[in-house]
Amino acid sequence: MSVTGIAALIAAGSFAVIALSIAYLAIRATKVLGDASTVIRETRAGQEALLARASAAVDRANSQLDRAEAVNASMDELGAGMADLAGQVNALAGFGRTMAGAVVSGPVGKAAAFAYGVRHAVGKRRGGPRSAIAGKVVGSKELSR
């Protein structure tokens, strides 16, 4: 064999080693890419589940906000009703003060005060109780006097 033949054999061997190395690397790269695609697929499935749970949580929050909005609207109606009721109570209280003032300071009030005074004086002369206690239960013996 000549030097050229040996050089050709070395070149052919080197070319074969390089070709086998490239083939091995291509097979390994294919396996790595396959594993990467599996990981991506699993991650995508996990993301879809996570997004579905997040979407359900957002839907629940929206329904609770809708309910809270309905409660707020009811509270606004209640506040308006209470304001209307307060106005009516004030009007009724004014009417009551007017009527009480008319009864107490008018002739009916004076007659009632006079009748109370006479009844109280007669009761003292008869030896009855000195003063009436509001809320006291009166027995039948006291009523028959």
pTM of the model: 0.38
Give Dmax (Cα) for the chain.
Answer: 164
Q: Read off the pLDDT of residues 31-61 as tens digits, 9 standing for 90 and up.
A: 999 999 999 888 888 888 889 999 999 999 9
For the record, the structure tokens of 100 come out as 């009480």
Residue 145 scores a pLDDT above 60: no
User: How far from 87 is each of 82, 93, 99, 100, 136, CA to CA, in Å?
Assistant: 9, 10, 18, 20, 36
Q: Are 123 and 129 in contact (CB under 8 A)?
A: yes
> What integer best gives the mean pLDDT of the chain?
84
pLDDT of residue 9: 93
Q: Read off the pLDDT of residues 92-113 as tens digits, 9 standing for 90 and up.
A: 888 877 777 776 777 777 787 8
Q: Would you list the DSSP string of 1-61?
A: --HHHHHHHHHHHHHHHHHHHHHHHHHHHHHHHHHHHHHHHHHHHHHHHHHHHHHHHHHHH
Give CA torsion, residues 104, 107, 112, 117, to 10 deg: 100
**Averaged pLDDT, 113-132:** 76
Helix and strand tally (H, E) in the chain?
3, 0
Boundaries of every domain in the chain:
3-91
User: How far from 31 is each of 18, 28, 37, 62, CA to CA, in Å?
Assistant: 20, 5, 10, 46
